[in-house]
Amino acid sequence: MLALPLLWSALLAYVAAGSTAIIAVALERRPERWILLLLLLGVSLHGASLAARWIHVGHGPFITLFEILSSNVFSLTLVFSLAYWRIPAVRPAAAFVAPVLFIMMGWLLVTSPGEGHFPPTYRTLWLYVHVALGKIFLGAVLVAVGLSGMILARLPRGEALEELAFRFMAIGFVFETLMLVSGAIWAQDAWGRYWAWDPLETWAFLTWLSAAAFLHARVAFRLSPRASALMILGVFALAFLTFFGVPFVSTAPHKGAV
């Protein structure tokens, strides 16, 4: 299958981009054009890999851990690349985003690329709406995580970076709200109930509450950039656990991967 060689090539491009970004921050160099080109090359190859697999297995990357990890590495890199391209202040954040993506890529490499069954409850437009909204949410929070990394590493202009990180968290919060709404509509269609406190729903709601608490705390307590950055890391850790932990340890019907 063509999908796998394309995927390995994409991962090589991502690793090259991420490593260059880390070295650039350490050496205080700015090879931004090269990093952007490598990111775009990786995203293009990865997009082709996902399309090839979609054609081969007859459904999108929504079922197995391999598919979910692969599609999320793609969407997270795509969202980050867009921010990297449009907002110069985001660019050094690549050095802090890269380790997160490296962990996901390493996990992807040790995961079986076997096929899974596409259940009848997934034959709905809401699957695409819900998943797309979730990916934008996590992508926006990842950009905020990169900016938080810059703040914690005491790169200059911490307050401006904090405002930028807050903006990405706010975007993430809007898309997470939409993700929960679309998920509830889908659950009503699929299982005849819009909310049942199953593990994935519960942890997604906890992530939403943590993001809401962050947005309120920022105003209420006038958080320092450092405190704000730490809270963003906390929200991301919860979101990461919800996306990639809960669906694969829960035995409830709403497993995401079933």
Partner 1 sequence: MSALASLKLTAAALLALAAGVIWAYVERPHSLPALVAPMALLALNLAAAIVVNPKFRRQLPLLVFHVALLILVLLAAAGRLTYLNGRVELAVGEVFTGELLDAQAGPFHRNSLARAAFVNEGFEIDYAPKWKRTETRNLVRWRGPRGEETGIIGDQTPLVLEGYRFYTTSNKGFAPVFVWQPLAGPAQRGSVHLPPYPVLQFAQAVQWTPPGASETVTVKLALDEELIDYERASRFRLPPSHDVEVVHGGKSQALRPGASVELAGGRLRYEGLTTWMGYVVYSDWTLPWLLAAATLAAAALGWHFWRRFAMRPWQEAPAC
Tell me which stretch binds partner 1 (CB under 8 A): 13-21, 69-77, 102-110, 114-122.
114-122
Nearest by Cα to 53 from 139, 123, 122, 114: 114
Q: Which is nearer to partner 1, 47 or 234 (CB)?
A: 234
Nearest by Cα to 80 from 34, 35, 16: 35
Q: CA 206, CA 36: separation in Å to the nearest integer?
A: 34
Question: Per rule CB under 8 A, is residue 29 in the interface with partner 1?
Answer: no
Question: Per rule CB under 8 A, is residue 199 in the interface with partner 1?
Answer: yes
Q: What is the 3-state secondary structure (H, E, C) of 113-181?
A: CCCCCCCHHHCCHHHHHHHHHHHHHHHHHHHHHHHHHHHHCCCCCHHHHHHHHHHHHHHHHHHHHHHHH
* Residues within window 125-184 making contact with partner 1, judged by CB under 8 A: 150, 155-157, 160-161, 163-164, 167, 170-171, 173-174, 177-178, 181, 184
Q: CA 33, CA 37: separation in Å to the nearest integer?
A: 6
Q: To the nearest whole angstrom, how small is the minimum distance from the Cβ of residue 217 to partner 1? A: 5
Question: Per rule CB under 8 A, is residue 35 in the interface with partner 1?
Answer: no
Question: Per rule CB under 8 A, is residue 69 in the interface with partner 1?
Answer: no
Q: To the nearest whole angstrom, how small is the minimum distance from the Cβ of residue 32 to partner 1? A: 10
Question: Per rule CB under 8 A, is residue 86 in the interface with partner 1?
Answer: yes
Q: Which is nearer to partner 1, 11 or 39 (CB)?
A: 39
Q: Using a CB cutoff of 8 Å and minimum separation of 24, what contacts does 19-25 make?
A: 19/98, 21/92, 21/94, 21/95, 21/98, 22/95, 22/98, 22/99, 24/92, 24/95, 25/92, 25/95, 25/153
SS3 call for 29: coil
Residues contacting 17, CB < 8 A, separation 6+: 35, 38, 39, 42, 94, 98
Q: Which is nearer to partner 1, 22 or 87 (CB)?
A: 87
Q: Which is nearer to partner 1, 41 or 257 (CB)?
A: 257
Q: For Cα atoms 200, 62, 257, give the angle at the middle one, nearest 5 degrees.
A: 40
Q: Which is nearer to partner 1, 103 or 224 (CB)?
A: 224
Q: Which of 194, 227, 234, 241 binds partner 1 (CB under 8 A)?
A: 194
Question: Per rule CB under 8 A, is residue 221 in the interface with partner 1?
Answer: yes
Q: To the nearest whole angstrom, how small is the minimum distance from the Cβ of residue 126 to partner 1? A: 10
Question: Per rule CB under 8 A, is residue 193 in the interface with partner 1?
Answer: yes
Binding residues (CB under 8 A) for partner 1: these are 86-89, 91-92, 117, 119-121, 123-124, 150, 155-157, 160-161, 163-164, 167, 170-171, 173-174, 177-178, 181, 184-185, 188-190, 192-195, 197, 199, 202, 205-206, 209-210, 212-213, 216-217, 219-221
